[in-house]
Amino acid sequence: MTALPTRQLGPFTVSAIGLGCMNLSHAYLPRPDAADAERLLLHALNAGVTFLDTAALYGFGANEELLGRTVMQRRAAFTLASKCVLGGSDGKRGIDGSPAAITRTLEESLRRLNTEHIDLYYMHRLDRNVPIEESVGALARAVEAGKIGAIGLSEMSAATLRRAHAAHPIAAMQSEYSPWTRNPEIAVLDACAELGVGFVAFSPVGRGLLAGRVDAKGVPEGDLRADMPRFQGDNLERNLAMAARLRAIAEAAGCSMAQLCMAWGLSRRDFIVPIPGTTRIEHLDELLATFARPVPPDALAAVDVLFPPNAAAGPRYANAAQAQVDTELWDNEPLD
């Protein structure tokens, strides 16, 4: 197995780039077949990735089942993260942060993952109808029972993080973070630094657009991104123009667009662990090759100039999805 640089994520030492497993079963199109998904997971472990991130929501359990049958024989080689609260049935999403739902979802996840212990277990979203302290209390009892190792939060604000951390230590916060989504810089990253909480950055290459994987045709019908305003109409055209400028910066720096985004994210704080998702081994190798050659500081500075906070055209979520997140917004940030 190859050794990658590591970072500290709460109590865990993990590869400085992890793998978000969602794309293998959920949300983006096209999806790989089972054999290709299994090959990618095993390749990630062989390439030195030691942090795998899944969720009960992804594929409505199918993603956890994929990991359960593919990598659990190598359980000691990686830190396993999954999520509760945001789930669904009959193909529809729903939020339930009640202690009973969290306990039930955890038992279902353990069964699907074919394990007795999940290292890092997140609240996928905030249930505004349940005090955060009650939800965290259920997770704290799971820690005491040895079913999970540490508690995480996802897409939540600094204020919610502080309340949760007061109830039980929080190991990690996961939120979208990339050059075109810099909302964690409003307050969450500072709160994480103050409290000793790790930060997991999902969609670090702008859901593929900032890696050159999206063109003027957009994304296929049925792809989750098709409902996101940044991938629609004039917003898509403007964002692709910014991506073209990002490509020029990357070419001048001697790296790919994806590598430039990864280097930018890794440079922001030493407790940030990006978890890009991909369905292709060659794309994963490209991302991990970020470590092979340092990106010049002037290229990272140029990314800052190109993507000041709130620079992307369009909201990152449509209204229904935005209502499910608790993250801070920039002044004058557009809403759908």
Tell me, letter by letter, the H, E, C secondary structure of 85-139: CEEEECCEEEECCCHHHHHHHHHHHHHHHCCCCEEEEEECCCCCCCCHHHHHHHH
- Residue in the block written with tokens 């979208």: 176
Which of 28, 58, 122, 317 is catalytic? The answer is 58
Instruction: Decide if pLDDT at 256 tops 60.
Output: yes
Is the entire prediction scored with pTM above 0.95?
A: yes
pLDDT at 255: 98
pLDDT in tens, 90-137: 556 789 999 999 999 999 999 999 999 999 999 999 999 999 999 999
Q: What is the pLDDT of residue 90?
A: 57
Phi-psi region of 90 (alpha: psi -120 to 50; beta: other; left: phi over 0): left
CATH architecture of 6-322: Alpha-Beta Barrel (3.20)
Q: Is 177 a catalytic residue?
A: no
Q: Is the pLDDT of residue 239 over 70?
A: yes
Determine the 3-state secondary structure of 177 from DSSP. Answer: coil
Domain locations in the chain? 6-322
Kindly report, residue by residue over 19-68, the tens digit of the pLDDT.
999 999 999 999 999 999 999 999 999 999 999 999 999 999 999 999 99
pLDDT surpassing 70 at residue 89: no
